[in-house]
Structure 1
Amino acid sequence: MIKFTKGVILVMKKFFTAIGVVAAAFALSFSVSSSATAAPREPVDVPTPMKSRIESTSVSADPVPANAVEQRTCRARFAEGVNHRRLAEIGATILEVIPAETWVPVSCERGTGGEYSACGLTSDYWMEVYWNGAWGYSAWSCVQDWEYTS
């Protein structure tokens, strides 16, 4: 009788654990889908960037020719408001200030330029950024989030 009771308890534990796992997975999938619908991506009308402003990755799969290239575009947002400069230099003309938390189209690679101190760091890396109809440069050390858009 004791073995039977222990066996039933063990089966019931596994059963309720499985129900809990399924319920947690369901709840998580629901929260992920609802947060995705709650914060839609901001539409961005950006001209097609020049080849210097996109990442090129070689594609070597058959039957694609060896010289084929896939082009990718990116976007980023900055932790603080950052200067949008004409050149990647601290003394370059400031075109505008990009507000914090604003998603903007950017190059998929960082570039080097003049050294600066911003957002608590000193660096010489810059992001090429598209803002209000013009390409320019902003401090890479202030990038909070970055992602491929295509």
Structure 2
Amino acid sequence: MVMKRIFTAIGVAAAALALSLSASSPAAAAPVEAPTPVKSRIENAAAPDAAVEQRTCRARFAEGVNHRLRAEAESAIIGSIPAGTWVQTSCTRVAGGEYTACGVSSDFWMEVYWNGNWGHSAWGCVKDWEFTS
């Protein structure tokens, strides 16, 4: 009976030691980070500091997009920009309402000049974007 208690105590101590070692190992301590979902194909494009240099930009869209009055999916449509058409744009993106278009979800919009009007179109649909000056 005494031997059984000694072996039980040794087993409990060994199990406690094993658990404490596994909990303090680097693999168990470091949480696995999930990848950040991609919201736009060009979200990381760097624009110049506006205070340093004023630049102009242009973009073209992968698909035909709505040209909206405001940066919101429910905003009035003031035109439609055909796919592949180069348009004058601002050199920065603007935050607005959430939308899903061109296979991505985002809340970033691009200020676009189209048919004599400034408006907004979905940043996630931009195929090509570049500085023009």
Pairwise TM-score range, normalised by the shorter structure: 0.5 to 0.7
2:100 matched residue in structure 1: 117
| Whole-Å separation in 1 of the counterparts to 2:49 and 2:118 | 19
Which secondary structure does the structure 2 equivalent of 1:87 belong to? coil
Does residue 77 (structure 1) correspond to residue 60 (structure 2)? The answer is yes
Q: Percent identity?
A: 67
| Whole-Å separation in 2 of the counterparts to 1:98 and 1:79 | 10
Structure 1 residue runs of 4 or more that deviate by more than 6 Å after TM superposition: none
Task: Show structure 1 runs of 5+ residues with no match.
Answer: 1-53, 59-68
| Whole-Å separation in 2 of the counterparts to 1:57 and 1:89 | 25
Give the TM-score normalised by structure 2. 0.62
CA offset at residue 55 of structure 1?
5.7
What residue identity is the alignment partner of 1:100?
Answer: A
Deviation per CA, 1:1-50, whole angstroms, max 9, x where unpaired? xxxxxxxxxxxxxxxxxxxxxxxxxxxxxxxxxxxxxxxxxxxxxxxxxx
Which secondary structure does the structure 1 equivalent of 2:92 belong to? coil
Identify the structure with bigger relative contact order (alpha carbons < 8 Å, sequence gap 6+).
Answer: 2
1:98 matched residue in structure 2: 81
Which secondary structure does the structure 2 equivalent of 1:141 belong to? helix
Give the TM-score normalised by structure 1. 0.56
| Whole-Å separation in 2 of the counterparts to 1:56 and 1:95 | 30
1:37 matched residue in structure 2: none
What residue identity is the alignment partner of 2:57?
Answer: C
What residue identity is the alignment partner of 1:80?
Answer: E
Does residue 108 (structure 1) correspond to residue 91 (structure 2)? The answer is yes
2:127 matched residue in structure 1: 144
Alpha-carbon contact 1:56-1:72 (below 8 Å) kept: no
CA offset at residue 57 of structure 1?
3.8
2:116 matched residue in structure 1: 133
CA offset at residue 147 of structure 1?
0.3
| Whole-Å separation in 2 of the counterparts to 1:136 and 1:56 | 22
**Which residue of the other structure, out of 70, 79, 89, is the alignment partner of 2:72?**
89
| Whole-Å separation in 2 of the counterparts to 1:104 and 1:95 | 15
Structure 1 or 2: more helix by fraction:
1
